[in-house]
Structure 1
Amino acid sequence: MTEQDRNPDQLSEQSDDHPRASQADGDRDLDTSVFEAITLARSAARRAGVGVDAERHTPEDEEEQVPARKVSLAFELENLDGAPSLIPIEQALEEIPGVAATIVYPSATAWISANEDEDPERLIRVFERFGVTAHLTASSLIRRSHRLAGEHSHEKRLERSRNRGDSRRISPRVRQHAREEKNQVLRAREAGFLSRRRGSSPAGDVGATGDVLFTARALITPRRFWLSLPLALFALVISSTPSLQFDYWQWVTAAVSLPVVTWGAWPFHRAAAGGVRRGLSALDATSSVAVLAAYAWSSAMLIFTPAGDPGWRSSLTWFAFNYGVHSESEVFFDVACGITVLLLGGRLLSRRTAQSSLLAELERLQIDPQQPVTVVRKHKLTRKPAELQIPLQEVRVNDDVIVAPGSVIPVDGVVIGGGTRIGASIIMGHDQRTVKVQDKVFAGGLNLEREIKVRVVRTGHRTRIAAVSRWVREATVKENRHNRAALRSAATLVPVALILAVGDFILWALISGNINAAFLTALSILAGVGPMSLALSTTLATRNSVEAAARRGILVSSGETLRIIDDVDTVIFNRLGTLTDGVMNVETVTADTGEDPELVLRVAGALAMESDHPVSQALVRAAREARDTGAGGEDIPHWIEVGTVDITEEGSFHGTVEVPLRDSDGVVRLRAVDALLWRPSSMTEVRSQLSPRLAAAAISGGAPLIVRWKGRDRGVITLHDQERPDAQDAITDLEDLGVETVMLSRDTYPVARRFADGLGISHVLAGIAPGKKPQAVRAIHTRGSTVAMVGDSSVLDTLRVADVGILMDVDDPAEIRDDSDDPAADVILLRREVSSVPRLFLLARRYVRLMNGNILLAWGYNVVTVVAAMAGVLHPMAATVLMLASTVVIEWRSGWARRF
């Protein structure tokens, strides 16, 4: 304690007499308050595991400190001086507690593992000390914004904000990104393959539509069924066997039935009450009303009629017209118990026999992000490779992961060492294939034989299997919205059944005067109507069809897409990337009179050098092979200089190249000339612009490319690509299904027609430039055709204008745009097989047949049941059995969709 604290009176006197002393003492009090605040802040920081150096920790602090979780951050770097300058930066970063850093110079990327609560701005300031500008990558911003949005409680965030300074913890850039990306990020990350919480229910619960209420599955348990069953059997046996009935047996039956109709039937009562409270229709509301009405009626009979007499006896009667009149009385405790037990058993049996959904299987296959994996990385100082054991969530792109035999591949990547046999994941039908170096592998596959080394291309929620999981989940949610018609019909059936039951009771009572028979028929109506069968008539068939397609590598956006595909009468194929394998090769090089074909090929390769199009790659590859073999001799330059190359709207390459030309003195010198690599789109261009020799070459082979310099066409290069092995059979299958096939091609008509004839394609649209393909599809659509467009990622705009866009040959999940408001594709084919297209049409047609059959069966059953119940020929328990049977039949029919 200070002296002032020990003598407060003296302090007061000094304050009155000496203003300067009072001011000094006030400053000391302020310093004390600041010191206490700093101490509290440091204590809070130590408990969070950040912000305090290890040498300042006391033993008490160590006991309070909670180990911080690790996260991975990626930074894009600018102004790097060179590779030797990276080591000091890494060392400066690792001086921060909990930070491990690796900087990759070629990609100008920094990969940092840090404590979860580490401030990225602190790391950025370290880079700035070395003159390097650092920015968090988009994926790191997404992960961080998701983590910030997922804090445990608002109070915890307030406490951290007070103790650590929230404005410093979250940078303005991160907060802005979090606001802009919050909805999209949360949806993608929550559905991600690695980040989903175990045990979460699949999206797609049809009860989420808000039109109906489904009985809670968690309440329908085997325990509830097995405890209710013996009581129900007692009620049923004693009610139907007069020889077993004793005095007051009906009162004993009432007591035995009470727990069955209350606790046993509680799931159905709860759903019905929830529907009344929310103004909705619960699908099991009619069954709940039937159970309660049967018990209430029977209790009233015991109290107000001779049915309560000790010596009263009863026997089971199946038909309403055989029931006694009011004076004879009837009780229905056996009916109340029977309906309850049959409902419980039917729901449990339906759940047990139903196969697990694809989402549930993906849930079980997901890999724990904390699972250790073996990664090969270079040592920071020695740069020698070393194997490390790190959690899967810390694996980075371009890491080399060792996958042992018998283990699941945790990432998408390329094999760079070894070879083995891979069991594909469930989304590819569990097929097996042999992989070797340079082959692609995907997360979820099983390594069956030997150890391999995989270079990481995508990890975590960016893997293909994670994208497929999100796609299927989104498709299920979309379909639930599309199935509102069936759900509304099912919901409407509940009040209609109640009205019919009341009207039936009144009519039977007035016409026959037999209120027991009237009540029995009304009870049969309530027990027999099947709103559940109507609700499931389309939902199950759709879900099973979408999941069955996904298991075969076909991703369908919704059941509505399948219904449109069933109406499609024209399929348009983009030639490149769908009907062919996409690898182009130079077929012929034809030079005009007086020109050197080798020079023509070298100029074409030089102009196409910077393009990654398959045609350009084929030209570059052929030019290099010719150069390496020494074709053309000394007259052809080993290297052709090329200036800036521009690509015109028509897709032509224009630039300046240096070619050997003979001057007026007869000396060959290199001169810079304008050159053009262009592709004819019509026979008019071929006949009008090319010499007879070049024109003949342009139409007699594969896809032609014209090489021009100094305003004159010097030669024609034709290219060909191999058609996919199953392309011809796939076209034949589509034609057999009555679907008209069309091919889009940029080639001239003779070239395109020759290729189409080899596959059996009916129609060809030739000479269509890339920018004109959407207009070509619209033209076919405007003539009245329902069009499906099949293409790769190079024709996304064309896929959008078709009735159904089918994206083929996809590896990068970024192309699976399931979270876009305007997705380019309605269907994505993960397999590199044209046969997936006719298989998709077969699935769509079978789906529509199943759906229509289910709807007809559900409505037909309900109409027949209601008529039979009103006629008095259907007992309530028999009606319950038929209702459950209709639901089982529809589930069984919908299960056919799984066998695709």
Structure 2
Amino acid sequence: MAEATAHRLTTELAVGGMTCAACVNRVERRLARLGDVNAVVNLATGLATVDHPATVAPGTLVETIERAGYTARPRAPEPAATGEDTGTGEDAPDGERAAERHRLLVTAALAVPVVVLSMVPAWQFRNWQWLCFVLTAPVVTWSAWPLHRRALRGLRHGTATMDTLVSLGVAAAFSWSAYALFLGGAGDPGMVMPMTLWPADGHEDAHLYLEAAVAVPLFVLTGRHLEGRARRRTGADLRALAARTVKEVTLRENGDERRVPLELLRPGDEFVVRPGERVATDGVVVSGGSALDLSLVTGESAPVDVGPEQAVVGGAVNGGGRLTVRATAVGADTRLAGIGRLVARAQADKARAQRVADVVAGHFVPAVLAVAVTVLGFWLGAGAGPGAAATAAVAVLVVACPCALGLATPTALLAATGRGARLGVLVSGARALEALRRVDTVVLDKTGTLTTGAMTVTGVTAVPGGIGAEAAIRLAAAVERDSEHPIGRALTAHARRGRDGGPLPAVTGFHATPGSGVRGTVEGRRVEVARPDGPLPAPLADALETAEAAAHTAVLLRVDGAAQALFAVGDVLRPGSYRAVDRLRRLGVEPVLATGDREAAALAAAAALRITETHAGLTPEDKAALVGRLRAAGRRVAMIGDGVNDAAALARADLGIAMGGGTDVAIGAADVTLVRADIEAVADAVALSRRTLATIRANLGWAFAYNAVTVPLAAIGWLNPMVAAAAMSASSLLVVANSLRLSSWEPGRGRPAPARGGRRAGARR
């Protein structure tokens, strides 16, 4: 898959044959030699994301990777757009996985008797060692052949990987055992070998290491099998998103309905969604009404009611009535496909610590080979027997494991970004996670971010003894029905919700006065909806004062010249805004309100949310300048917005966070996108980023500590090669298992954070 940008291309390649972080580093370095080529290779997904000039053909990239000793092919088209399994770049087909399982089972059947006989002297019958030799030979050759093949391929290209270490270790253990059997006296019929988990003292040339020769391939194959299963689990959330697309759709043409493949659906076509079915693609409801389950698209658990002229998202489940939908986007242009792309690209990114680990791993394997040769020479020079010297060298080769280094970040990112997508939080990559974790100030836009972004009737006050509130809203909505003013639309929508979408009375003699209001005749009455002026009855005067204090717009209803009701209309706070701001404070993040709205509206919203720093009446340039001043003061700033006017501030902040329902410009300038229309997702994103970075640090800490401890132990002869092989496999499994915990992470309520050096809120404007 290639994507062009200003004479440059971004190409994704599926890379095969990588086994450790050293492989990742080698592929990245080989591609970088092409000149002006930047590559990010992900061990967990087997994908290489390459940014390169248009003059460098994708075929050249494939050839470069193949010359480095690996396989490569262009990645298939966007999975989320086609509905197919996302998979990973190196995910083996079912047939290959079945062959791997078969190889593992045969290896276990051959290896277990060898290990048991070698470690339990009481069961060592006459000529037992020759039976073990016969059972070991196919394990060392056939079972370990994939390891040998990759090691030989690396040597042909002048490289060394983890497979090189394992292959040399297995060959050395088997070769020494064969020498001991045929030339060293270990082939005597009555030979008995004592049980030990430690290396032999080395003065007995008759000592065998057949158990190490079979245990190393067994543990490596077992570890990679379990590791592969775990890595596939980390991508389960993304595959679940891709699975939301349907294969067939009921197309409606000229009143007829027929089932067709999804690929035949085009923008503008109408399709039917029956109860229980998934919405095939993004569109607008033409007829019908229902409640949609959007939990796997936005993370919201509550069903969303939809009706005519309302937008629907592909992948949502129709929980009720029959819908007819007009498609507005298909294939790669759908919202679900966009989510899949964002998550997949985020999983290809690397944390800063992982980039350092990859560089270290690039020099790790040659260093281990040098250490093994040095250990062999040292023990032989110190007077130890050939057996002990060879055992120590084999243990060094086998125990060294750069796999855990390569898996530390990508497995955590796979799990975290997939889990974030299901929670309605899309993170662009590891760099965004790192920035999100360090944020201590969040600049919040008001309209569309903290508020719904639409005018809503917030209060209805009727004159006692008059027509009543229900009749008042019905008459006001009837006369406002033909108005395009936001206040008129709000009154109409409020009345229709109260009447379950039923028809409103007809209006005649409609007239609109710009800046004043509208009037008309409804059911024989003269109805006027306008700004309040002149004296009002006491209840309406009190309601007017309350509306103005909340920075809401007040409109007065007069019927036949008499004031009957007053409506308060305004942009109300989202239900989750209160919890979101409180949780951000508990996480140690200070909220700052920045809006282009008037000061009264800004102060009212800030007071409701207990935000102490407020900036009102800002232009887009003012918002960007505010972000710059906060950063200059030493704060790490995240900006949250949804409109074109927020794009400059989003780009200037340490981290930009866009509301998923906002403009494409705002989303394009952001590092994090909130798919669900719930500002509380911001707190979820901060908490998830901190947990993810903590998991990555723990993974890398374990990977480095493991090698720092086990390699010296093997060098001084304190590790049996069989134990070393088990430890090597366990280290990779531990890293993957630790990352998998992120897949089931649930947002908490946060805990009060320690004070940040006595920082005070900025001045109120």
Does the 8 A contact of 1:578 with 1:809 survive in 2?
no
Instruction: Tell me what 1:377 maps to.
Output: 253
**Are 1:779 and 2:629 matched, yes or no?**
yes
Query: What secondary structure sits across from 1:560 in the alignment?
Result: helix
Query: Comparing 504-513 with 856-865, which one deviates more in the overlay?
Result: 504-513
Instruction: Tell me what 2:215 maps to.
Output: 338
Change in Cα spacing, 1:771 to 1:392, as seen in structure 2 (3 Å) is same
Deviation at 1:235, TM superposition (A): 2.3
Q: Given the alignment, which residue of 352, 366, 369 partners 1:495? A: 366
Cα offsets for 1:677-732 (capped at 9, x unmatched): xxxxxxxxxxxxxxxxxxx9998552789xxxxxxxxxxx9963110111111111
> Counterpart of 1:341 in structure 2: which amino acid?
L
Deviation at 1:291, TM superposition (A): 0.9
Q: Given the alignment, which residue of 421, 427, 452 partners 1:581? A: 452
Instruction: Tell me what 1:899 maps to.
Output: 744
**Are 1:233 and 2:112 matched, yes or no?**
yes
Query: What secondary structure sits across from 1:785 in the alignment?
Result: coil
**Are 1:617 and 2:496 matched, yes or no?**
no
Cα offsets for 1:784-807 (capped at 9, x unmatched): 211111011332232111111111
Structure 1: give runs of 5+ residues left out of the alignment.
1-178, 208-215, 379-384, 589-604, 611-615, 643-652, 660-695, 706-716, 818-822
Give the TM-score taking structure 2 as reference length: 0.71
Structure ID, larger Rg: 1
Instruction: Tell me what 2:225 maps to.
Output: 348
Deviation at 1:298, TM superposition (A): 1.9
Instruction: Tell me what 2:614 maps to.
Output: 764
Instruction: Tell me what 2:727 maps to.
Output: 882
Q: Given the alignment, which residue of 740, 749, 753 partners 2:590? A: 740
Deviation at 1:387, TM superposition (A): 2.9
Q: Given the alignment, which residue of 391, 395, 413 partners 2:265? A: 395
Cα offsets for 1:121-153 (capped at 9, x unmatched): xxxxxxxxxxxxxxxxxxxxxxxxxxxxxxxxx
Whole-Å separation in 2 of the counterparts to 1:789 and 1:569? 11
Cα offsets for 1:825-876 (capped at 9, x unmatched): 1111111111100111000111111111111111111111123223322211
Instruction: Tell me what 1:849 maps to.
Output: 694
Cα offsets for 1:88-129 (capped at 9, x unmatched): xxxxxxxxxxxxxxxxxxxxxxxxxxxxxxxxxxxxxxxxxx
| Moved segments of 4+, more than 6 Å | 186-189, 619-626, 628-631, 696-699
Whole-Å separation in 1 of the counterparts to 2:441 and 2:86? 41
Does the 8 A contact of 2:553 with 2:570 survive in 1?
no
Query: What secondary structure sits across from 1:284 in the alignment?
Result: helix
Whole-Å separation in 2 of the counterparts to 1:467 and 1:573? 25
Does the 8 A contact of 1:790 with 1:807 survive in 2?
yes
Deviation at 1:246, TM superposition (A): 5.7
Does the 8 A contact of 1:847 with 1:897 survive in 2?
yes
**Are 1:753 and 2:603 matched, yes or no?**
yes
Change in Cα spacing, 1:869 to 1:267, as seen in structure 2 (3 Å) is same
Whole-Å separation in 2 of the counterparts to 1:206 and 1:559? 22
- Superposed counterparts of 1:181-196, under 5 Å: 190-191=77-78, 193-195=80-82
Does the 8 A contact of 1:235 with 1:253 survive in 2?
yes
Whole-Å separation in 1 of the counterparts to 2:79 and 2:104? 37
Whole-Å separation in 2 of the counterparts to 1:519 and 1:774? 66
Change in Cα spacing, 1:345 to 1:455, as seen in structure 2 (3 Å) is same
Whole-Å separation in 1 of the counterparts to 2:374 and 2:146? 27
**Are 1:422 and 2:288 matched, yes or no?**
no
Cα offsets for 1:216-275 (capped at 9, x unmatched): 985971110111222212322333345555665444433331211111012222222233
Q: Given the alignment, which residue of 399, 409, 413 partners 1:542? A: 413
Whole-Å separation in 2 of the counterparts to 1:481 and 1:397? 42
Does the 8 A contact of 1:239 with 1:245 survive in 2?
yes
Change in Cα spacing, 1:352 to 1:388, as seen in structure 2 (3 Å) is closer
Query: What secondary structure sits across from 2:588 in the alignment?
Result: coil
Cα offsets for 1:377-431 (capped at 9, x unmatched): 33xxxxxx33344443333334332112333221122334444443436344483
Whole-Å separation in 2 of the counterparts to 1:218 and 1:278? 27
Change in Cα spacing, 1:430 to 1:489, as seen in structure 2 (3 Å) is farther
Query: What secondary structure sits across from 1:797 in the alignment?
Result: helix
Change in Cα spacing, 1:851 to 1:888, as seen in structure 2 (3 Å) is same
**Are 1:560 and 2:431 matched, yes or no?**
yes
Whole-Å separation in 2 of the counterparts to 1:479 and 1:547? 15
Deviation at 1:312, TM superposition (A): 4.1
Instruction: Tell me what 1:571 maps to.
Output: 442
Change in Cα spacing, 1:269 to 1:429, as seen in structure 2 (3 Å) is farther
Change in Cα spacing, 1:227 to 1:492, as seen in structure 2 (3 Å) is same
Task: Looking at secondary structure, tell me which structure has more helix per residue.
Answer: 1
Does the 8 A contact of 2:86 with 2:239 survive in 1?
no
> Counterpart of 1:259 in structure 2: which amino acid?
P
Q: Given the alignment, which residue of 799, 803, 823 partners 2:650? A: 799
Q: Which has the higher contact order (CA 8 A, sep 6+)?
A: 2
**Are 1:318 and 2:197 matched, yes or no?**
yes
Instruction: Tell me what 1:44 maps to.
Output: none
Whole-Å separation in 2 of the counterparts to 1:334 and 1:297? 12
Whole-Å separation in 2 of the counterparts to 1:502 and 1:361? 49
Instruction: Tell me what 2:669 maps to.
Output: 824
Give the TM-score taking structure 1 as reference length: 0.61
Does the 8 A contact of 1:573 with 1:744 survive in 2?
yes
Deviation at 1:359, TM superposition (A): 3.4
> Counterpart of 1:553 in structure 2: which amino acid?
G
**Are 1:412 and 2:261 matched, yes or no?**
no
Percent identity between the aligned chains? 30
Change in Cα spacing, 1:542 to 1:200, as seen in structure 2 (3 Å) is closer
Does the 8 A contact of 1:220 with 1:347 survive in 2?
no
- Superposed counterparts of 1:858-873, under 5 Å: 858-873=703-718
Change in Cα spacing, 1:284 to 1:454, as seen in structure 2 (3 Å) is same
Instruction: Tell me what 1:663 maps to.
Output: none
Instruction: Tell me what 1:293 maps to.
Output: 172
Q: Given the alignment, which residue of 77, 82, 88 partners 1:202? A: 88
**Are 1:262 and 2:150 matched, yes or no?**
no
**Are 1:638 and 2:511 matched, yes or no?**
yes
Query: What secondary structure sits across from 1:455 in the alignment?
Result: strand
Deviation at 1:374, TM superposition (A): 2.2
Instruction: Tell me what 2:580 maps to.
Output: 730
Whole-Å separation in 2 of the counterparts to 1:252 and 1:546? 51
Change in Cα spacing, 1:534 to 1:389, as seen in structure 2 (3 Å) is closer
Query: What secondary structure sits across from 1:193 in the alignment?
Result: helix
